[in-house]
Structure 1
């Protein structure tokens, strides 16, 4: 009987361990040593070298950094690339107009000649990773100040990067891990000709918009399609009509086989940032400063933008991407703040700190080595609080909240050119501004909308931020000239500035005048803000050394304190792998969420004419006739999304979700509301990745959009 009970306990323990997410975003070169055994148990059929290799084609050769903050994957021998709709949203918006509204109607290139170039967009492939910790720390000596330590480290990093790229067109970065305790070299290859191939209408690609963002059940077809091009020689090249589609080292086959609970799932991508080793003091800063500020400031501005967007189709196109970029992390902050409080994360961090204090004080050597770690973090975090608060308000209210102030950089450049007395320099600069300003700024700018936002942001800053952090334009101009009336001040600024209107700026450039520009109200206001911003930043920097040292010691202590636990590094925008399973979850008592959603759920959420939940008529017709093609589940429905227990964060958007055979089964695009605290504290019972099912992606391409030629490019596994 005892033996039977023991066996049952082992089975039950094994079962429940598989039901938990496997915490960690792992470095690819370490998979063989740390992860391959567990991954194989869960259903992986590949070797570690099939995933990451510098000697042969592997999965990592199909994964790219898409733009500056997403992930994408190559899915054909002709460089076809998939990423999220919200990752390609800026490019889709940039190509849209009232006459050709690709945000509303979608876009599909039926030939390669119809594919649309995207200046400034690039994709980046990982070539190799190398542990260079010993080289980076070779010149670091005990007793060094943080400044001297950083100088020695940065000199070593630069030398390693130069050596790694000599004689190549590659780029290289030495990245810090474990808060400066380890360092790895990443060598990359970048391609700059990336063309838009297809995108569903936003009523599919962003179905649910803000209401459904970070939520499950989800029904969003969050994907877009691009193609990578090379020069005729196969090497990276700027856009040219003579370029040819990329011939990748590896591309992902696509599986349309049915998914079941417990199926193996791994994700490769570029997670941006996690803070899993934050202390209670840093969590407190998130709860009291970072999240409340972001929620309040962005919420006010977003309401202004949305009102104008809904009133005018042109403004909707102009501000769609800006609004989306703002609202995503606005809602993230709402969710993370609530999650940190609900799950009592600060108290859990304090428990770890209490364990640390007992451990470190039990040994004189430990106390000497690590004893100051927590006090350094605590003192720096608490003393910098007022400056961190002011800096965030400066960034959110002025830098991000007042678009017109961005143009002060043009004024500064023009003034510098005029002061130089070099007429050719001034003429060339003026011509360049004329040539590029419409596309770079005014194309997606509406002055009346911005004026409303500027008024709100300037009032909010004055009301919420202590007067010692106020830019002097409040007293010197708003109070003295406009008797404290911010509305009148802003009206005057927009009326008089040569920067507030494209035609006015171009007319000024035809006859530039230094005195006019030096007295321009936008230029003067921006300079006033810049002065206080510099002052705040300088005050913040005085705590950087203690905070950096404290975090490094804290991380090193945690690794030494728990030697049996493999500590994975925080995300830092380098390629990582996370593995787990297709799973449902229980968000609260008495409620279980299935691991998949279907097209039926789209129709249940459908609200005719609603900007978040409208559905294209063609999609309704196809649903009513049950035209699902080969993409239907054997159970009779068309799958839309599913959940896994993989460990992801921002930057993983667009990442491939891959089965045990190395085949693409979906695109990761979100996390779930119940585990929004996950960037700070992983929640194994709740943490889920929300994925758009590749079968829905292909159905939209093939049957909804009629772009079967794109599916035919792929290797589809049935």
Structure 2
């Protein structure tokens, strides 16, 4: 598909000016308020997080343990991503009423759908508790240190007074140099309110993943319910909509380049303070290894998917899962190189050493340990990716674990059902013949790239990919786990019958050639590699903790933030386009016209619902068009985000909701390791598009009536 580069009405200047010096996922009680104000923020840090009165933090929740969501009405209405609500939308779908395909819009509160097990967490207070957690740990290391810290954490938690619906989580920051306590309130009655069809909510799904320009309406809506006293409660028909301490007004004002914006949410994991040696190993060794394995797997799948429509449908989701981080890692490597990350870190380390010579032994120690760990870590990368990307080896691993659990007497009814559910998920779209080809090729790559000291016995024979195909295909044909071998006529698709006689099944599995090969593969890895990686990582972690403390003690000009660890954070930046490569310039905003430019009738990624086409043709845009006369769909900014920020609110200088975070531009995915405002962009759904879909497409004005819309 040809891509049109969508430029903004005003072309980007040849050289972009950046007032932003750092990224950062800031603890809300320790914001870099000075830089935020310099970039245009009009509110105060206390307006964002105040434990003593209503503030923006009272409208931001962790959604179902992973994503972020925000309260957008005085009646507990929640907004998050479509992909964050996907499992819940799917759980309410049937063949006759497919909500993923058709979308869902409750007509009133009585039509909202409960989601058992789904929770949202509010953070009501954050306190630094380092002084309570570190006493007694001064001369401890390894397991003893961990044990003492855990004892101190438990003692701290027991000493706090909490309500029945509250919990306290104590989290390590700065590699164990500081600790913070979070008071959490958990709500357990969360109901589905609305979701666009996947043709809007997942538009461009796999092809456009990590990519800009983007045209995805990635949003869904839920509602928090509480008991009659507005407190958390298990689901009950007597529960009422939750009245929040604060909800976010929604702005539909036009955006301009350089407008201030900040994102409030629960980012998953970053590693911004690694030494240069660690970044170099990621960039030149482990990322390329993982990319290489997935590259072979994806090409093998693609060959079959291109010529067989049934395989294309069956493997669409699996292909997307494999491609997701493959694409991310490619962008990460490119971004690290383009931003000169390793050299910059080396220069920074030398600057620190010049100010504090005591840092040199720490850096030398890190260099030594990372170089010592490198061959083992590289083997771990290849091994893990081979097992992960071969469904056949994944099945062999599951059955190997079953043999062990059965022989140890651990296979009770609950574990049996969990095992069957896991196997059902793998077998659902499994093509044994196709996966034999994938397995053969990635094992050939593994055998060629792995030094002899790490190779299992006989794996040296697997270096020739062409010969390999016959070997693995023959093993697959004889294997019980692939469903191609014979187990008294029982098919693996009939799992209940398969597990009727566990003794006979175990006996057969022990002779299965693929289970035997997997066992040899796994044993060799654990004998040669796993313990070494773990032991060296323990040494590295201790040095990294020391290095982090030394950085903070030495660099008085820098304001530090802790790496992301799924706790509540604020990141900030400005609305901006990008110039990711030579002669390529992207505007900061896409529009509905771009949706139609990509439209491919009947395509699983780029189809467009008939009603949306009709709205486009009639230009029935209402108040949701911008100065171009079109409806804005997505936009980019320099906010420093990562996984877990999905569904996070993007807010303007006054704390109004202007967008919904859902992705990053792949040229800047190295932001998890080395944020650079010149290259790193987060991607958000524009609130104008969200409200346009709710109003004009879904005809759900009753929801708009709950909201405070800033025009």
- Interval of TM-score (by shorter of Structure 1 and Structure 2): 0.7 to 0.9
C-alpha contact (below 8 Å) 1:398/1:457 kept by paired residues: no
Equivalent residue number for residue 9 of structure 1:
none
Q: Report deviation, 1:431.
A: 6.3
Q: Report deviation, 1:459.
A: 4.3
User: Any idea what SS the aligned residue of 1:335 has?
Assistant: helix
Equivalent residue number for residue 498 of structure 2:
508
Equivalent residue number for residue 368 of structure 2:
379
Equivalent residue number for residue 80 of structure 1:
77
User: Any idea what SS the aligned residue of 2:549 has?
Assistant: helix
Q: Report deviation, 1:244.
A: 4.8
Equivalent residue number for residue 385 of structure 2:
396
Distance 1:529 1:177 in 2: 37
Q: Aligned ranges for residues 294-333 of structure 1 at < 5 Å?
A: 294-303=290-299, 322-333=318-329
Distance 1:156 1:319, change over 3 A: farther
C-alpha contact (below 8 Å) 2:579/2:586 kept by paired residues: yes
59-68 vs 39-48, which deviates more?
A: 39-48
Is 2:252 the partner of 1:267?
Answer: no
C-alpha contact (below 8 Å) 1:264/1:581 kept by paired residues: yes
Equivalent residue number for residue 127 of structure 2:
130
User: Any idea what SS the aligned residue of 1:485 has?
Assistant: helix
User: Any idea what SS the aligned residue of 2:68 has?
Assistant: strand
Aligned counterpart in structure 1 of residue 621 of structure 2, from 617, 628, 634:
628
Is 2:50 the partner of 1:50?
Answer: no
C-alpha contact (below 8 Å) 2:667/2:679 kept by paired residues: yes
User: Any idea what SS the aligned residue of 1:27 has?
Assistant: coil
Distance 2:600 2:66 in 1: 32
C-alpha contact (below 8 Å) 1:22/1:645 kept by paired residues: no
Distance 1:318 1:193 in 2: 35
Distance 1:475 1:217, change over 3 A: closer
Equivalent residue number for residue 7 of structure 1:
none
Distance 1:249 1:531, change over 3 A: farther
C-alpha contact (below 8 Å) 2:83/2:202 kept by paired residues: yes
User: Any idea what SS the aligned residue of 2:172 has?
Assistant: strand
Distance 1:484 1:411 in 2: 24
Equivalent residue number for residue 519 of structure 1:
510
Equivalent residue number for residue 469 of structure 1:
454
Q: Report deviation, 1:565.
A: 1.7
Distance 1:22 1:582 in 2: 15
Measured against aligned partners, the alpha-carbon deviations of 1:542-568 in whole angstroms (never above 9, x if no partner) come to: 212321122122222222222122122
C-alpha contact (below 8 Å) 1:268/1:576 kept by paired residues: yes
Q: Aligned ranges for residues 146-161 of structure 1 at < 5 Å?
A: 146-161=142-157
Distance 1:649 1:427 in 2: 39
Q: Report deviation, 1:598.
A: 1.4
Q: How many residues align?
A: 687
Distance 2:85 2:306 in 1: 22
User: Any idea what SS the aligned residue of 1:29 has?
Assistant: coil
Q: Which has the higher helix share?
A: 1
Distance 1:327 1:118, change over 3 A: farther
Equivalent residue number for residue 5 of structure 1:
none
Aligned counterpart in structure 2 of residue 255 of structure 1, from 240, 251, 256:
251
Q: Report deviation, 1:667.
A: 0.6
User: Any idea what SS the aligned residue of 1:552 has?
Assistant: helix
C-alpha contact (below 8 Å) 2:63/2:120 kept by paired residues: yes
Unaligned runs of 5+ in 1: 1-14, 362-366
Equivalent residue number for residue 198 of structure 2:
202
Unaligned runs of 5+ in 2: 1-14
Q: Report deviation, 1:334.
A: 0.7
Is 2:692 the partner of 1:686?
Answer: no
User: Any idea what SS the aligned residue of 1:636 has?
Assistant: coil
Distance 1:697 1:428, change over 3 A: closer
C-alpha contact (below 8 Å) 2:117/2:188 kept by paired residues: yes
C-alpha contact (below 8 Å) 2:267/2:567 kept by paired residues: yes
Distance 1:108 1:296, change over 3 A: farther
Distance 2:145 2:42 in 1: 44
C-alpha contact (below 8 Å) 1:173/1:187 kept by paired residues: yes
Equivalent residue number for residue 576 of structure 1:
569
TM-score, structure 1 length as denominator? 0.84
Equivalent residue number for residue 492 of structure 1:
478
Q: Aligned ranges for residues 502-581 of structure 1 at < 5 Å?
A: 503-513=493-503, 515-516=506-507, 519=510, 521=512, 524=516, 526-535=518-527, 536-581=529-574
Distance 2:667 2:21 in 1: 14
259-268 vs 157-166, which deviates more?
A: 157-166
User: Any idea what SS the aligned residue of 1:128 has?
Assistant: strand
User: Any idea what SS the aligned residue of 2:164 has?
Assistant: coil
Distance 1:484 1:596, change over 3 A: closer
Distance 1:264 1:703 in 2: 29
Distance 1:323 1:198, change over 3 A: farther
